[in-house]
Every structure is written in C-alpha cells, then in structure tokens.
C-alpha cells in the first residue's frame, strides 16, 4: 500500500505562489547558523563593512531533517554547476571577526 501512495505523491504537482517581495530576492554576503535540538536558524545578512556593520536580510528556520535535504540538494546542484561552468574556488573569509565573540 505504501508503494502505491508514494507513486501518487510523485505524480501530484504542488503549486507554489511567490509574492512580489520574495520574487525580487535579497542579497547576502554572510550567513550565520544557530540551532537548538529541534530547529536550525539560518540568518542571511548583508555586511557593508566591519565599521558600518550590516543587516539581516532573511531568516530561515527549519528542522534538522529538512536541513539535511537542503544540504544534499545544494551539494548536488553545486556539482552540476561545476560540471557545466568549471570548479568554484572557495574565497577567503573576512579577517575581521563579525558578531559576538567569546
């Protein structure tokens, strides 16, 4: 019975609406991750400079299991991107510490 239900779910299309503000997107050049046992919080921020600071442009809160699926999907997409456009070199992060420090 479960196999039949999975087949039906695969065939069903989900319609997703997107508002004008979300459609524009937001820029982020920093991401901070925090978590509890139940959820992960991903804060995306636009940092202008260490002196001027920045602003959080988006916050995504999700479950640990969904975050694993996000990571898997991003990994697969980066692999396809690099196969098409070439290897992406990781840039060096900022030398100045941003945010709360221990």
Q: Could you give the dihedral angle defined by the CA atoms of residues 87, 42, 99 and 51, in that order, rounded to the nearest 10 degrees?
A: 70
Tokens coding 18: 């997107």
Contact 18, 66 (CB under 8 A): no
Assessment of whether the complete model's pTM goes beyond 0.85: no
Predicted confidence band of residue 10 (pLDDT cuts 50, 70, 90): low
β-sheet bridge partners, residue 34:
41
Domain ranges of the chain: 21-85
Residue 3 Rama label (left phi>0; alpha psi -120 to 50; beta): alpha
For residues 22-30, give the mean pLDDT: 93
DSSP 8-class letter at 51: T
Q: Which residue has the tokens 């975050």?
A: 67
Give the mean pLDDT of 19-39. Answer: 94
Residue 91 main-chain phi, psi, to 5 deg: -80, 155
Task: Quick: pLDDT tens for 38-80.
Answer: 999 999 999 988 888 899 999 999 999 999 999 999 999 999 9
pLDDT, position 92: 81
Local confidence band at 5 (pLDDT 50, 70, 90 cut-offs):
low
Contact 68, 48 (CB under 8 A): no
């Amino acid at each position: 019975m479960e196999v039949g239900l999975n087949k039906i779910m695969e065939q069903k299309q989900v319609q997703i609406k997107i508002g004008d503000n979300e459609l524009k997107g937001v820029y982020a050049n920093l991401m901070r991750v925090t978590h509890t046992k139940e959820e992960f919080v991903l804060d995306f921020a636009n940092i202008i400079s260490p002196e001027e600071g920045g602003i959080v442009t988006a916050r995504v809160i999700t479950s640990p299991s969904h975050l694993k699926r996000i990571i898997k999907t991003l990994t697969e997409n980066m692999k396809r991107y690099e196969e098409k456009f070439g290897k992406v070199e990781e840039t060096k992060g900022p030398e100045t510490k941003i945010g709360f420090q221990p």
